[in-house]
């Protein structure tokens, strides 16, 4: 499947991006090479298919300032097609994913900041991830889900223009606050549940929920929390089942967050996300993981058995209602697990942990997070993942399980 070509984008954006053209610009095949430098810019401007939004704008010069050959100074910026840079001023690299680079950019006409996720789609794997992500992003519009603004495409790459989240990841916020209570945890989880519930109502399972994929929109205390990274998402419609659970023919996600039914190759549904949210709730309240082991085999075994506890600190300071919330998410039987709708109405969330002590959990949480980070780094995560040890290892992108 092509990656977004010819697809319509979602309707009018909800957060005032009126001045940004909401269009998919599929750059012509005959003028596709974004790395070839200034010569292509002229081609781009002559390409009638490229008339949407960029006509008459001069792409920036690619001549290196230090006089070295262009190949030598190639940076992430050179991966941006001149037709993209004619429209957006690429400011800084924010991060890298398995198939992507994400940059902060500014729309040249409106000066509005955005994130641009550039995905390599020449290889089949990158194309699949990109297609999955776009298929979801083009359908969604919710305050707690990252908003796609426009898609620009050349044959080798897709550029997704997204709203820019500047408030950092969920756990970064927990650490940086200096003070963190159960009430704060319910606020974050309520927003995550609202976003996930919205997705589930559309029949979309995210399948890779983890704190790193929950980003704050801005650094302020009142910021929205956004569900991001839909590279592993799938929809009920895609699986060919109109209603109810479907069988995932693939495993995906990050080992510590994966639901038992995924490991057992059972029928999977949106409930896999609710398990992951149980894991996230456990981490947010304690800074430690419910399921963790250096051995991948032992890790999977403890997940399949649902073997976790509330023994370490700060659990003695955490309310029973918070533990009840987690216990109703980390349920082995997916049918018995809380749905997003039920979880958002759990008394701990509804009352914003009113019955808890409001104790500051920050010290224990950051201590546990620091300890975990040093354990993980000393184990060398890249080799751990390949040798079967679990640091915070991905199960693998769309790793086939040959279920039939
Ligand atoms: N809209 C955005 N605003 C701000 N930062 C973003 C945005 N989208 C992604 N990022 C950041 O860019 C980095 C790369 O994100 P991306 O989703 O491409 O990959 P990933 O999820 O980190 O990795 P993988 O592809 O292996 O799942 C991450 O650190 C992420 O937090």
Residue 68 confidence (pLDDT): 52
Q: What is the Å distance from ligand 1's center to 230 Cα? A: 10
Going by pLDDT thresholds of 50, 70 and 90, the confidence category of residue 266 is confident
Distance 148 CA to ligand 1 centre (A): 14
Q: Which of 224, 304, 298, 225 is nearest to 264 (CA)?
A: 304
Do residues 88 and 114 make contact, with C-beta atoms less than 8 angstroms apart? yes
Closest C-alpha residue for ligand 1 atom 30: 95
Sequential DSSP letters for 82-111 = HHHHTTEEEEEEEEE-SSEEEEEEEETTT-
Say if residue 117 carries a ligand binding annotation: yes
Residue extents of the structural domains in the chain: 15-162, 170-385
Question: Is the alpha carbon torsion for 88, 92, 95, 97 positive or negative?
Answer: positive
Cβ of residue 115 lying under 6 Å from some atom of ligand 1: yes
Tell me the catalytic residues.
208
Phi-psi region of 396 (alpha: psi -120 to 50; beta: other; left: phi over 0): left
From the centroid of its chain, how far is CA 196? Answer: 12
Distance 247 CA to ligand 1 centre (A): 27
- CA-proximal residue: ligand 1, atom 24 (nearest): 97
Cα 228 to middle of ligand 1, angstroms: 8
Fold agreement (15-162, 170-385): no
CA distance linking residue 338 with residue 240, whole number of Å: 24
pTM of the predicted structure, to 2 decimals: 0.79
198-207, 234-243, 251-260, 392-401, range with greatest mean pLDDT: 198-207
117 pocket-lining for ligand 1 (C-beta < 6 Å): yes
CA-nearest residue for atom 20, ligand 1, is 97
Give the distance (Å) from ligand 1 centre to CA of residue 85. 20
- CB–CB of 306/331 below 8 Å? yes
Q: Is residue 165 in contact with ligand 1, taking CB distance under 6 Å?
A: yes
* Any ligand 1 atom below 6 A from CB of 233: no
- CA 213/CA 236 separation, integer angstroms: 21
**Nearest Cα to Cα of residue 393 among 403, 378, 383:** 383
Q: Does ligand 1 come within 6 angstroms of the Cβ of 146? A: yes
> How far, in Å, CA of 357 to CA of 320, rounded?
11
**CATH classification of 15-162, choosing from 3.20.20.140, 3.10.129.10, 3.30.200.20, 3.20.20.210?**
3.30.200.20
Nearest protein Cα to ligand 1, atom 5 = 165
Residue with the nearest Cα to atom 29 of ligand 1?
A: 95
How high is the pLDDT of residue 292?
93
Tens digits of residue pLDDT in 39-75:
222 223 222 222 222 222 333 344 444 455 545 445 7
Beta bridge partners of 92: 104
Least confident of 72-81, 154-163, 251-260: 72-81
What is the average pLDDT value for the chain, to the nearest integer? 78
Question: Mean pLDDT, to the nearest integer, of 350-374?
Answer: 90
Q: Which of 15, 88, 95, 398 to mutate to test the pocket of ligand 1 (most atoms within 8 A of CB)?
A: 95
* Nearest alpha-carbon partner for 321 in 224, 210, 183, 214: 183
Ligand 1 atom having least distance to the Cα of 101: 18
Q: Is the CB of 202 under 6 A from ligand 1?
A: no
304 C-beta closer than 6 A to ligand 1:
no
> How far, in Å, is the centroid of ligand 1 from the Cα of 95?
6
Most confident of 70-79, 249-258, 259-268, 334-343: 334-343
Q: How far apart are CA 62 and CA 77, in angstroms?
A: 10
pLDDT band at 378 (very low <50, low <70, confident <90, very high): confident
Which strand (E) or helix (H) includes residue 326?
A: helix 320-327
Residue 279 near residue 255 (C-beta atoms within 8 A): no
pLDDT tens digits, 98-149: 889 999 999 999 999 999 999 999 999 999 999 989 999 999 999 999 999 9
Hey, which CATH number is domain 170-385, 3.30.428.10, 1.10.510.10, 2.40.160.50, 1.10.8.420?
Answer: 1.10.510.10
**What is the full DSSP assignment across 254-293?**
BGGG--HHHHTT-EE-THHHHHHHHHHHHHHHHSS-SS--
């Amino acid at each position: 499947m092509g990656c977004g070509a010819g697809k319509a984008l979602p309707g009018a954006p909800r957060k005032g991006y009126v001045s940004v053209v909401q269009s998919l610009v599929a750059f012509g095949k005959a003028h596709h090479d974004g790395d070839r430098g200034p010569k292509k810019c002229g081609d781009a401007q002559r390409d009638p298919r490229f008339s949407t939004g960029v006509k008459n704008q001069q792409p920036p010069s690619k001549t290196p300032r230090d006089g070295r050959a262009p190949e030598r100074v190639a940076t992430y910026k050179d991966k941006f097609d001149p037709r993209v840079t004619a429209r957006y001023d690429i400011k800084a690299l924010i991060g890298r994913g398995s198939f992507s680079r994400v940059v902060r950019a500014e729309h040249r006409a409106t000066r509005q900041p955005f994130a641009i996720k550039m995905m390599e789609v020449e290889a089949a794997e990158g194309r699949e991830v990109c297609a999955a992500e776009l298929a979801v992003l083009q359908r969604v519009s919710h305050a707690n889900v990252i908003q796609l603004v426009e898609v620009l495409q050349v044959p080798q790459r897709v550029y997704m223009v997204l709203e820019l989240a500047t408030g950092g990841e969920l756990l970064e916020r927990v650490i940086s606050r200096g003070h963190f209570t159960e009430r704060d945890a319910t606020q974050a989880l309520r927003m995550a549940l609202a976003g996930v519930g919205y997705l589930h109502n559309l029949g979309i399972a995210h399948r890779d929920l983890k704190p790193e994929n929950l980003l704050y929109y801005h650094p302020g205390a009142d910021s929205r929390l956004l569900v991001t990274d839909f590279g592993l998402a799938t929809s009920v419609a895609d699986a060919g089942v109109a209603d109810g659970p479907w069988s995932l023919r693939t495993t995906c996600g990050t080992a510590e967050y994966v639901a038992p039914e995924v490991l057992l190759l059972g029928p999977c549904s949106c409930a896999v996300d609710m398990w992951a949210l149980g894991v996230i709730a456990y981490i947010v309240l304690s800074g430690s993981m419910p399921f963790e082991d250096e051995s991948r085999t032992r890790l999977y075994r403890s997940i399949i058995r649902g073997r976790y506890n509330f023994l370490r600190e700060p659990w003695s300071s955490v309310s029973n209602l918070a533990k009840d919330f987690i216990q109703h998410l980390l349920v082995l039987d997916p049918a018995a697990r809380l749905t997003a709708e039920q979880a958002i109405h759990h008394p701990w969330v509804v009352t914003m942990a009113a019955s808890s002590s409001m104790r500051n959990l920050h010290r224990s949480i950051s201590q546990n997070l620091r300890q975990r980070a040093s354990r993980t780094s000393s184990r060398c995560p890249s080799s751990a993942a390949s040798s079967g040890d679990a640091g915070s290892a991905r199960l693998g992108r769309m790793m086939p399980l040959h279920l039939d």
